[in-house]
Homo-oligomer: A and B are copies of this chain.
Amino acid sequence: MSTFREDGAAALEWVASYLERVRELPVLARTKPGEIRTALPPSPPERGEPFSDVLRDLDEILLPGVTHWQSPRFFAYFATTGSEPGILGELLTAGLNNVGFVWRTSPALTELERHVLDWLAQLLGLPAGLHGHIEDTASVSTVAALAAARDARPDRRVVVFSEHANVAVEKAARTVGLEPRRVPVDDVYRMRTDGLSVSDACAVVATVGTTSTASVDPVPALAELCEREGVWLHVDAAYAGAAWVCPELRASLEGVERADSIVVNAHKWLLTPQDCSCLWTRRPEDFRRVFAVGGAPYLPGDPAESLSDYGPALGRRFRALKLWLVLRHFGREGLQRAIREHVRLAALFEDWVRLEHGWEVVAPRHFSVVCFRREGSDEENEALLERVNASGEVFLSQTRLDGRYVLRLAVGNVRTTEDDVRVAWDVLRREASEL
């Protein structure tokens, strides 16, 4: 155990110093495809090696190939935070190494998972009485929901979602063997409901916070339609659901109380490390119909609920522990402070873009995502983004809206300051002027 204490202290110091210096590292990895593999031995070691050798290789071989999601200057996709209590939660989880496939194999895992999902439902203003559990990703949460919806309406094989829904929804539909149907959006990227027919669908997926623009589908109208046609409504709020922790950001919560299932990823905007996708449902029996296999002679009747009855995986790790640590470390107040600051910074950036000649904001800003571009062609904007990201100073990503190439800035790291956002804006203008 002395080795563990010593190696552990080195690993901990590695993480602490990484978090201290991450702002200075090139945000987007500069490695070429295959370079890392070439630097690694083609065969595994015959004999054990000291931990210090591995930490050295982490620095020398792997780190140049890491895109720094923990950087406060990471503004791509949905920016996230692996916060300190969450990181230590993963250490404790691995130390305990519990496997919660039934209640008795870890009552603490099962009960804490239900409990923190109830806590989080309260924080987000979700209805009381929902059944909550954790999956690894929103993709798998959606697999679970769509399989439940499919078997609740076996006569129907179609899943309806907007052309701006995340590709994970299409993956989920394909995984469970359903037919994905993308429907058009209106001029601000919300699913159109005029003329929408869902009578052959077993499920509709509404997105709160789409991946390109963070737009919000008209959940109340979709809930109305789904109730009329007997269709399962799944709300994908993987990113933006976190905003509901702030009462002033709950306009997008309207109608969500009528959903059959709801997913919010704590690992996106709730300061929790990968992976922690929170799934709630008011139809737990429909999940059990698919996933509760029961009756195995090696897993006889357990005295309490097994969370493996609600999703594809039989085994489950103790993911609730890190979420518990995060919720206790920040409290409601700390989560609100982080979300509000991110929204403030995005709004500030939006203002800078609006006021600057030759730049435009190209979609309504929602939450902490700004879609914008520089005047000129798609090729010029693409070249601009490549120069910005090649600088290593910041990392932004892109999308396409109405056929045009668009830049995206997303704020989501708890260590991001106004100065970091200003650096992004300075780098963008500098590179634009040098193009």
Contacts and interface: CB of A to CB of B under 8 A. Distances in A.
A114 interface: yes
A322 B317 CA distance: 15
A19 B44 contact: no
Interface stretch (A27-35, A192-200, A219-227): A27-35
Interface string A206-224: 0000011000000000000
A328 B5 contact: no
B9 A331 contact: no
Given A48-B334, A66-B108, A119-B44, A298 B114 contact: no
Which of A93, A95, A291 has the most chain B CB atoms inside 10 A of its CB?
Answer: A95
Interface stretch (A340-348, A350-358, A394-402): A394-402
A249 interface: no
Contact of A105 (B67, B267, B327): B67
Count the copies. Answer: 2
A45 interface: yes
A29 B315 contact: no
Interface string A44-71: 1111110101100010001111110110
Contact of A92 (B48, B58, B329): B58
Given A313-B136, A317-B275, A11 B96 contact: no
A15 B77 contact: no
B44 A88 contact: no
Interface residues of A, number: 145
A408 interface: yes
Given A4-B19, A297-B400, A329 B51 contact: yes
B14 A1 contact: no
A25 B283 CA distance: 38
Interface string A117-148: 01110110000000000001111100100010
Given A18-B95, A29-B108, 16 more contacts: A3-B84, A9-B12, A11-B88, A31-B107, A33-B304, A36-B112, A40-B111, A44-B120, A46-B332, A48-B330, A66-B106, A87-B95, A138-B314, A168-B313, A174-B291, A275-B315
Interface of A: 1, 3-5, 7-9, 11-16, 18-20, 28-29, 31-37, 40, 42-49, 51, 53-54, 58, 62-67, 69-70, 76-77, 80-82, 84-99, 103-109, 111-112, 114-116, 118-120, 122-123, 136-140, 143, 147, 150-151, 166-168, 170-172, 174-177, 211-212, 267, 273-275, 290-291, 293-300, 303-304, 312-318, 322, 324-325, 327-334, 397-401, 408
